[in-house]
Amino acid sequence: MSGRRARWLLFLAGAPLLFVGLRALDPVGDRGMANVLGFFAALLYALLWLGLFLWRGGLDARGRVRLLAGLLAAGAIAALLVRVDGFHGDMIPILSWRAGPAPAAELPPDSAAARPDSASAAAGTVDLARTSAADFPGFLGPTRDGRVAVALAVDWTARPPRRLWRAPIGAGWSGFAVVNGWALTLEQAGDEELVSARSLATGAVAWTRRWRARYEHVLGGDGPRSTPAIAGGRVVVLGASGHLACLAGSDGTVLWEHELQAEYGVAPEEEAAWLQYGRANSPLVVGARVIVPVGGDPAVKQAGLVAFDLASGAVLWEGPGRAISYSSPALGVLGGGEQVLIVNEDTLSGHELATGRILWEHPWPGSSSGDANVSQAVPLEGERVFVSKGYGGGGLLLALERGVEGGFAVRELWHEPRILRTKFTNVVRHGGFLYGLDDGRLECVELASGQRRWKDGAYGHGQLLLAGEHLVVVSEEGEVLCVEASPERPNAVLGRFSALEGKCWGTPALAGAVLVLRNAEECAAWELPLESR
């Protein structure tokens, strides 16, 4: 090889090196954005190389035409052979051969989403009014903080998890809510969204209820995002386009419903522009109140949090207008009373439960169509609140102090942009430490100081729960791991198995010993081994 040709090849090699370098340096605190920047930087570099090579590479006019024609032909052949089936959470495209099986346009006939609305043939089969300590009644479990009182056995070699069932499911990232042996979630079925109620033991569908709505996004995927809430034998659901409904748990009969887009003055195309990934706010039920962030068009009617009556659906109160994020409301006891915490598009606020009045608010920059706020706020003892986000936002710990007229002053205890960047997920707290997926890697952070104890284990943008003393981690690729929640033992994996194949972004549910989870095509239930009493 001549020296001239070697120099040109080395110059061309700079394109992939530039991509890898930007990805490794992570200049913006988010691997997904680093990948996007790296791709475009490498593309511009390659185009620069091509221009220079055409100009000074020693080719005659015919050679230049042949080179350009060859490159265009290679691109066309690649486009004919390969298709993009979506993206991972770090913005890496999911590629497959066009000759292979395409994502199913029609749902399998045995899936709940392929059936018309139906109720169980046996009256009274589904009873969601009867509850137990093993229930997982909504987003992040019974205490809405990702913690469940389950003591897992950790020798999964001697006592491996057992699959109870596996079934097809409509698209979406909604998690499961589980009460009295029934698991409910939201799905996409063509141009409709639906709720399905499945037996936790067998996966058999007892009833479905649907309404006309379709959400799709090339990056975010199709289908509803929020997790149902079960309370008092009723099921409260929020679709990706703002359909809020309360259903009878026995058969899915609609008790009341609201169309939030229409009621708060937002045209679908307007919402798609400022909330491009769909409504993902899981309803919070507190006593007789159903609380959801609403948003809306400030020029017409806008509210932040809104409380609806669980029995009738009547509006009980509307909080001050705020643009919504993808975060879900949480309930905490702070300052001697109950507060509803909500992460808005660019602030974090605490609201009086009885009236919706804002008690305090703190900046938490975000853009629902860019560096989105997704993770919910975590109330802590000592009048403290923790919040985290991806896109370089990191973790923030606040302290509340009594102010004037029943309000609170807010003081930052620490803010670390490079820890606990929980892009699609939430942290769990165990003892004096926080555990979460920091831009896809499992991390342990000391709560008091914000100092990282360890960061290890690449699990992608999956989810996690705390079961007793152990973390149950579901990777983005559907692997389930049992990890010791210890600041002294980095990523101490005690057991692992593959539960599903494919992108798992939805939050799992752990009802007693049964872990139920899903991706955009399948759902499954696994019985985990418990400690002997």
State pLDDT tens for residues 71-81: 889 888 888 88
**pLDDT surpassing 70 at residue 320:** yes
Residue type, 528: L
Q: How would residue 119 be classed by pLDDT, with cut points 50, 70 and 90?
A: low
pLDDT tens sequence across 261-297: 999 988 888 888 888 899 999 999 999 999 999 998 8
Cα 279 to Cα 225: distance, rounded to the nearest angstrom: 7
pLDDT at 368: 86
Mapping DSSP to helix (H, G, I), strand (E, B) and coil, where does residue 335 land?
A: coil
**pLDDT surpassing 50 at residue 121:** no
Mean pLDDT in residue range 100-127: 58
pLDDT at 377: 98
Give the chain's mean pLDDT.
Answer: 90
CB of 112 closer than 8 Å to CB of 205: yes
Bridge partners for 84 per DSSP: 95
Task: Pull the structure tokens for residue 456.
Answer: 């290890």
pLDDT at 103: 56
**Centroid of chain to Cα 392:** 17
CB of 442 closer than 8 Å to CB of 422: no
pLDDT tens sequence across 145-166: 999 999 999 999 999 999 999 9
Catalogue the E-assigned strands of 353-405: 358-363, 378-380, 384-389, 394-402
Q: To which residue do tokens 């598009």 refer?
A: 345
Q: Which residues contact 18 (CB under 8 A, 6 or more apart)?
A: 38, 41, 42, 45
**pLDDT surpassing 90 at residue 188:** yes
**pLDDT surpassing 80 at residue 204:** yes
Bridge partners for 190 per DSSP: none
pLDDT tens sequence across 428-482: 999 999 999 999 999 999 999 999 999 999 999 999 999 999 999 999 999 999 9
Residue with the larger pLDDT of the pair 525 and 336: 525
pLDDT tens sequence across 3-20: 666 665 666 666 677 667
CB of 386 closer than 8 Å to CB of 446: no
Lowest mean pLDDT across 83-92, 199-208, 330-339 = 83-92
